[in-house]
Amino acid sequence: MVSLTADMSPLHPDRNLALELVRATEAAAIRSVPFIGRGAKEAADGAAVDAMRAFLGTVNFDGVIVIGEGEKDNAPMLFNGEHVGTGRGPQCDVAVDPIDGTSLTAAGRNNALSVIAVSDRGAMLDASSVFYMDKLVTGPAGVGVVDIRLPIGENIRRLAKATGKPVEEIVVSVLHRDRHERLIEEIREAGAGTRLMSDGDVAGGINAARHNARTDICVGVGGSPEGIVTACAIKALGGHIQGRLWPRNDDEKQRGLDAGLKFDDFVYEADDLVKGNNTIFVATGVTDGQLVGGVRREGDHIYTESVVLRGASGTLRRISSEHLTSKWL
């Protein structure tokens, strides 16, 4: 077990590590800028991966990537099981997404992020064998109130009562996918509004959990890795997250069973997705969004905006940085 004071030990991630990790997300975001709006999502992702890997190699921690972008044979992606960091310092599980929203980046749309999350070694659920997860995320008002097993209309009514909002003022974020056609209809039939996301459900989940956010719920089937990453952030926000694995076929379900994952309507709660509160989530904006602004280049300077969320202290910090353009040429 990790106590609230354990993050002061060199065996656990601490606040200094959080600030070091920001350098890696900043680098990934900056390197992806030439590809924004150019329709080349693979090139953008490749540039971000290379930059993130280079900066992670300078960070004093012993990290193992639990959630990456593929297996070792798919290098140069940051692959599952890869060791990162100098090997000195705290032993950590690491989740990376050099660009959460590659399609958003390629199209020049909002809400693309560069993301890293870390926790104590062995704390993150490894759900890599099952690509999709059905998720429900709200802010603190949803804790003990909403439940992913209930119909979405019931959850909307429950959250409206808990927050003191009229149902018609509840806004629900959903990935705009064919699989969500009926879900979107049910949300609107309940009287709530929708915010349809083309990509980037990490940002969608965090925005739903933030204080005074524009959305109240983020729901639907998205990536399993994104669910684990979002859970690391939710720990700092005091919000609510639940997930159910959503295998695409029997073979994928069997791979999940072989890996020890649970199905048949089993609900993963926040502590199942990532154990304890000793979590760090960092993100830098690639393009503008509700959570952070995107990278801007103005003459001799590059401007980035990042957030750092620490579960142990329950804090969200914003970091605005100025970088000399000459250092990135």
Q: Is 132 marked as binding a ligand?
A: yes
Question: How many residues belong to the chain?
Answer: 329
Q: Is 223 marked as binding a ligand?
A: yes
Q: Is 45 marked as binding a ligand?
A: yes
Q: Is 101 marked as binding a ligand?
A: yes
CA distance 114 to 235: 19
Q: Is 134 marked as binding a ligand?
A: no
- 8 Å CB contact between 138 and 159: yes
Q: Is 87 marked as binding a ligand?
A: no
Tell me the pairing of strands 83-84 and 217-223: unpaired
Q: Is 154 marked as binding a ligand?
A: no
CA distance 318 to 111: 16
Q: Is 199 marked as binding a ligand?
A: yes
CA distance 31 to 195: 29
Q: Is 147 marked as binding a ligand?
A: no
Q: Is 85 marked as binding a ligand?
A: no
Rounded to the nearest 5°, which phi and psi values hold at 240? -120, 130
Please report the sign of the dihedral spanned by the C-alpha atoms of residue 287, residue 211, residue 95, residue 24. Answer: positive
CA distance 92 to 61: 7
CA distance 287 to 225: 21
- 8 Å CB contact between 236 and 209: no
Name residue 268's beta-bridge partners. Answer: 243
Q: Is 303 marked as binding a ligand?
A: no
Q: Is 265 marked as binding a ligand?
A: no
CA distance 117 to 67: 9
CA distance 7 to 233: 17
Q: Is 264 marked as binding a ligand?
A: no
- 8 Å CB contact between 68 and 202: no
Q: Is 126 marked as binding a ligand?
A: no
- 8 Å CB contact between 318 and 306: yes
Grouping H, G, I as helix, E, B as strand and the rest as coil, residue 291 is coil
For 7, 90, 204, 224, the CA distances from 111, given in Å and listed in that order, are 31, 31, 9, 19
CA distance 233 to 230: 5
Binding residues for substrate: 100-102, 132, 177-179, 199-201, 223
Binding residues for Mn(2+): 45, 69, 97, 100, 226
Binding residues: 45, 69, 97, 100-102, 132, 177-179, 199-201, 223, 226
